[in-house]
Amino acid sequence: MIAGFERVAKWYGSVVGLVDVTASIGPGVTGLLGPNGAGKSTFLKLLTGQLRPSEGSVRLLGLDPFLKTEVHRRVGFCPEQDAFYDDMSGREFVQHLTRLHGYAGGEARRRAGAAIERVEMQDAAGRAIRTYSKGMRQRIKLAQAIAHDPEVLVLDEPMTGLDPLARRKMADLLQSMAAAGVTVLISSHILHEVESLTRTVLLLHQGRVLAQGTIEEIRSLLDRYPHRIALRSPRARDLARALLELPGVIGVEIGDGSVAVEARRPDEVYDRLPALVLEAGIPVDALEASDVSLDAIFEYLVA
């Protein structure tokens, strides 16, 4: 076990951050999932020793991360908040923070350069951070977290603000680090973001651990509950009739140029839908999986 929470609670005055959380993080990549306000940031701040639990105990690499700050030598943290020393360039920022890991000036410079290269920021590294786009800021935050070659990398919503290509690149980088033996814990409120990185997830909701396991296990749990898919078509009635023939579809609702489908196995609907509409010659203008958001998943699980 790399990290563990034992009956951890965290309150901010009367506001609850986490309640009775027991969880363990093993090697590899783990996704920390939950809607906004679920307690993900609190979880990660407790894990990285920035907060002290109100109750229970947190262990990271066998140590209490709040009291034993030396554990940070082996841990990299990429915060969610968009906070920087704006008077610095990206290179100065990474170098400045790498120096605080105890590296001499030359070594810190070399490590900062290597990390900046890994996140593909070498061309803009000399520019002031205040001139960076959101995606560039995310990447420079990641660079400061990996410059000291941590054994454990903790990332709080690192994909926010990245375009699809940059997301792909970051996912590749994180996967290559995981393949090299780094334990990665990544938080997100977007399921597919995490799905592209790992099968192991920890679900948080309203400060509690809702489920921990593989995505398959959680999906099978979810398959007990119907999913809603919304489609728009000028031939809504014909589309509804055709959809009812698909396995797993348990009901349809016809509106003005729209059809709402309730399905127990939505993946099958997505797989068969293109062939179905092509064969029947029914035009489909839009498709929206209206309740595959994490919020909806949590609602199902809580129910």
Partner 1 sequence: MNALTGTLLVARQSFRRAFRGPRVLWLGLVTLLPLLLALLQSSHRRGGDFETFAVTTLFFTLQAIVPFLGLMLGVSIFGDEVEGRTLTYLFTRPLPRPVFYVGRLLGMGAAFAIVVGVTTWGATLIYGRNLDLAPSEVRGAVAAAVGGFVAYLAFFAALRVLFRRALFVGFILAFMFEGAISKLPQGNVGQISIWHQSALIFLRGMEHRELDPEAIESIGSEETAGEAWRVLVAVFLVSTAVGAWFIHRRETPIPAATS
Does position 269 interact with partner 1 (CB under 8 A)? The reply is no
Does position 72 interact with partner 1 (CB under 8 A)? The reply is yes
| End-to-end CA gap in the chain | 31
Which listed residue (6, 84, 264, 276) binds partner 1 by CB under 8 A? Answer: 84
Which listed residue (2, 8, 25, 49) binds partner 1 by CB under 8 A? Answer: 49
Closest CB to partner 1 among 49 and 226?
49
Does position 216 interact with partner 1 (CB under 8 A)? The reply is no
Q: Both tokens of residue 255?
A: 């509106």
Residue 70 CB, nearest distance to partner 1 (Å)?
5
Angle in degrees, CA 130, 41, 225, rounded to 5 = 125
How far is C-alpha 61 from the chain's CA centre?
Answer: 22
Closest CB to partner 1 among 97 and 263?
97
Does position 180 interact with partner 1 (CB under 8 A)? The reply is no
Does position 12 interact with partner 1 (CB under 8 A)? The reply is yes
Does position 15 interact with partner 1 (CB under 8 A)? The reply is yes
Binding segment toward partner 1, per CB under 8 A, in 39-47, 164-172, 217-225, 252-260: 39-47
Which listed residue (30, 48, 138, 200) binds partner 1 by CB under 8 A? Answer: 48
At 271 the three-state DSSP class reads helix
Residues in contact with partner 1, counted by CB under 8 A, come to a total of 34
Residue whose tokens read 């947190």: 58
> Across the beta sheet with 183-188, what order do the strands follow?
75-78, 152-156, 183-188, 29-33, 200-205, 208-214
Strands (E), the chain: 3-12, 15-25, 29-33, 55-60, 75-78, 152-156, 183-188, 200-205, 208-214, 227-232, 249-254, 258-263, 286-288
Residues numbered 96-155 forming contacts with partner 1, rule: CB under 8 A = 96-97, 99-102, 144
At 71 the three-state DSSP class reads helix
Does position 51 interact with partner 1 (CB under 8 A)? The reply is yes
Binding site residues, partner 1, CB under 8 A: 12, 15-17, 36-37, 41-42, 45, 48-52, 69-73, 75, 77, 79, 81, 83-85, 87, 96-97, 99-102, 144
